[in-house]
Amino acid sequence: MAVGIFDSGLGGLTVLDAVSKRLPDVPFVYYADSAHAPYGVRDADDVFSLTNAAVRHLWDAGCDLVILACNTASAAALRRMQEGGLPQGKRVLGVFVPLIEALTERQWGDNSPPREVSVKHVALFATPATVASRAFQRELAFRAIGVDVEAQACGGVVDAIEEGDEILAEALVRSHVDALKRKMLEPEAAILGCTHYPLMEETFQQALGPDVKVFSQADLVAESLADYLERHPGMLGKGGQSLFLTTGDARRVSDRATQFLRRKITFQSV
């Protein structure tokens, strides 16, 4: 009955933490492709190839449903995987769908014409690859009109977080927010378009100011997954225990994960 959660590194642990609290009886298999992180500086074909390999590993581990807890993978690989055809009984979901739903105030399956929404000026903070894909802008435009999105590629932030350098990560976040504000003086909302970024949410909020609503993904994904599993209970796979898998150095990744979640996490190498 396990559900797979995939990320290029450790940022998806923010999603894992939220979904584990929301669904305490569901085992999760977390797969970190640490050997190839970060994905945010790779081209779309490379991201697709790496994501596809990771997802197949999770299917082999007994996970019929896999969550791409990586915005770069969701933006660059998800649609291509779905259009290419998935094996019978397997599903792959991305993490920015619940975020788009919250921002546009409509369900993903609502294909009615786009309409005006309350938020008009949105700042998007994401990896260079996610920004280049324009996936957020495309999905927003399909569902809402009159929304101005200003994207800021946040180079270096994921690397600093993965290395555990909080001081550097905070400095980079403030620098990227300043750069965004030079392009959009008064954003009404901000999207943290990388699952690493909730670890720096307080810094983003302080730099943006109290009047900017910050949309983070973890809790939104948790609620969306709970609703999905209630509607599709058969998608719980055959795997019966929680596992943490990594393509990187298991000891090093375990130490970083334990630091992130403030509880003991032990990864196995694959």
Whether cis (ω within 30° of 0) applies to the bond prior to 38 is yes
Are 105 and 83 in the same domain? no
User: Quick one: pLDDT at residue 261?
Assistant: 86
What does each C-alpha distance from 195 to 1, 21, 220 come to in angstroms?
Answer: 24, 17, 12
User: Quick one: pLDDT at residue 138?
Assistant: 87
Quick one: angle between helices 13-22 and 218-231, nearest 10?
50
Q: Is the pLDDT of residue 17 over 90?
A: yes
Give the count of domains, the chain: 2
Write out pLDDT tens, residues 116-134.
888 999 999 999 999 999 9
CATH number of the domain that residue 146 is part of: 3.40.50.1860
Residue with the two structure tokens 């299917």: 59
Q: Is the pLDDT of residue 240 over 90?
A: no
Determine the Cα–Cα distance for residues 66 and 2; give it in Å rounded to an integer.
9
Q: Write the secondary structure of 116-158 as one string of H (helix), E (strand) and C (coil).
A: ECCCCEEEEEECHHHHHHCHHHHHHHHHEECCEEEEEECCCHH
Are 128 and 89 in the same domain? no
Mean pLDDT, rounded, of the chain? 92
Q: Is the pLDDT of residue 114 over 90?
A: no
Write out pLDDT tens, residues 4-15.
999 999 999 999
Are 150 and 67 in the same domain? no
Q: Which residues are catalytic?
A: 70, 194
The boundaries of the domain holding residue 203 are 98-215
Q: Is the pLDDT of residue 239 over 80?
A: no
Are 124 and 161 in the same domain? yes
Are 195 and 182 in the same domain? yes
Determine the Cα–Cα distance for residues 72 and 130; give it in Å rounded to an integer.
5
Q: pLDDT band at residue 200, thresholds of 50, 70 and 90?
A: very high
Are 141 and 199 in the same domain? yes
Are 82 and 187 in the same domain? no
The pTM (predicted TM-score) of the whole model is 0.89
User: Quick one: pLDDT at residue 203?
Assistant: 97
Q: Which of 158, 101, 94, 79 is nearest to 125 (CA)?
A: 158
Q: Beta 28-32 vs 3-7: how paired, if at all?
A: parallel
User: Quick one: pLDDT at residue 104?
Assistant: 85
Are 187 and 56 in the same domain? no
Are 153 and 172 in the same domain? yes
Are 199 and 104 in the same domain? yes
Write out pLDDT tens, residues 62-101.
999 999 999 999 989 998 999 988 999 999 999 888 888 8
Q: Which of 126, 120, 4, 11 is nearest to 62 (CA)?
A: 4
- The separation between the first and the last C-alpha atoms of the chain, rounded to the nearest angstrom, is 21
Are 211 and 232 in the same domain? no
30 near 218, Cβ under 8 Å?
Answer: no
Are 102 and 210 in the same domain? yes
User: Quick one: pLDDT at residue 27?
Assistant: 94
Write out pLDDT tens, residues 38-68.
998 899 999 999 999 999 999 999 999 999 9
